[in-house]
Amino acid sequence: MDRSWPWRRIGFCGDRTGESAPRTGPCPDPDPQGNTSNSGELTIAAVTRGERQRQVLALVLVAALWGGTQPLLKRASSGLQQVHEQTWARQLLQEMKTLFLNTEYLMPFFLNQCGSLLYYLTLASTDLTLAVPISNSLAIVFTLIVGKVLGEDIGGERAFAGIVLTVAGITLCITSSVSKTQGQPSTL
């Protein structure tokens, strides 16, 4: 196993002992016999279809946690306008006390932060071109759906059209990403 692999992606090359030296270009990839290629391209192993599906499901869960908690946080923090103090420091402390002693606010906040943690953990193994559109775009969709369930006005037909277009775009991203993983290893 090449221990210098993470550093090779950012332009540091090293031998198998872990010694690294800065380099201006991409590092040559060793072949199985220990020789290095002179192509200068980095080869990334193909992700299996099952791994990609788990990544997509994790990102959809992140979007559900982020988007689904937003209307709940909005509803639970509505009493904040009634907090009035003389100084900005006392105002801040009173607002924090009001929010963090309110279990109706804390539960969605905790779930939202769990979504952030899952997102951070998923980024370690997921392509950014897949992670960012899925999690951020679908979070808006989940916000609209949960808002509608809670009785909020979400905008009618235009909002529904936006949801359909967003889901169609995300479907194209996922389909494109999955079809890439079925071929040969990609090169940078």
Q: Is the pLDDT of residue 98 over 70?
A: yes
Whole-Å CA distances, 164 to 11, 138, 167: 42, 11, 5
Give the amino acid at 11. Answer: G
Tokens 């990403």 belong to which residue? 177
Q: Is the pLDDT of residue 141 over 60?
A: yes
Cα separation, 177 vs 8, whole angstroms: 24
CB 29 within 8 A of CB 104: no
Contacts of 7 (CB under 8 A, 6+ apart): 13, 14, 20
Give the pLDDT score at 19.
45
Q: Is the pLDDT of residue 25 over 60?
A: no
Give the pLDDT score at 31.
52
More confident residue, 43 or 177: 177
Tokens 């309110």 belong to which residue? 102
Residue 149's pLDDT band (boundaries 50, 70, 90)? Answer: very high
More confident residue, 17 or 146: 146
Give start and end residues of each alpha helix (H) in 77-102. 88-100
